[in-house]
Amino acid sequence: MGSGFWMNCPKCKERYSFSFGAGFLTFTKNIERVVYYCPKCGNWENKEIKTGPTPEKSLKALEDFLEKGVPLPELLKKKRHFEICQKCKSRMKTMKDIDIDNLPILVCKKCNEKLKYDMAYCWD
């Protein structure tokens, strides 16, 4: 089950959802939702990232390794994901979960106003 939270713009009333983790459908496809944010300018992106090969490919590669000694493919090795901020070109950080007391400053995509926390939620 994934988690997330809503934030609102006090100026233009835009509402944004920030989602983390893997729900049932994304889990079966090895996709996870991640929030990247820029600590310098407050820009953010909520993206789905591929966390690895599908379960079928993983099992087949493991069987080949155990039975035939075939080296494990690069797909099975954990990869780091990071993003570069499109506004200021700084390296973005990853928000892995909700920490209401320590939310970074995030800004509205329309008017650049600082967003205000609204509520948390769980999703699947």
Mean pLDDT over 99-103 rounds to 76
For the stretch 59-87, pLDDT in tens is 666 677 677 776 655 544 445 556 899 99
Number of structural domains, the chain?
1
Domain that holds residue 72: 2-123
For the stretch 26-40, pLDDT in tens is 556 777 888 899 999
Q: What does the block give as tokens for 26?
A: 């994304």
Closest to 92 in 3D by CA, of 31, 46, 54, 26: 46
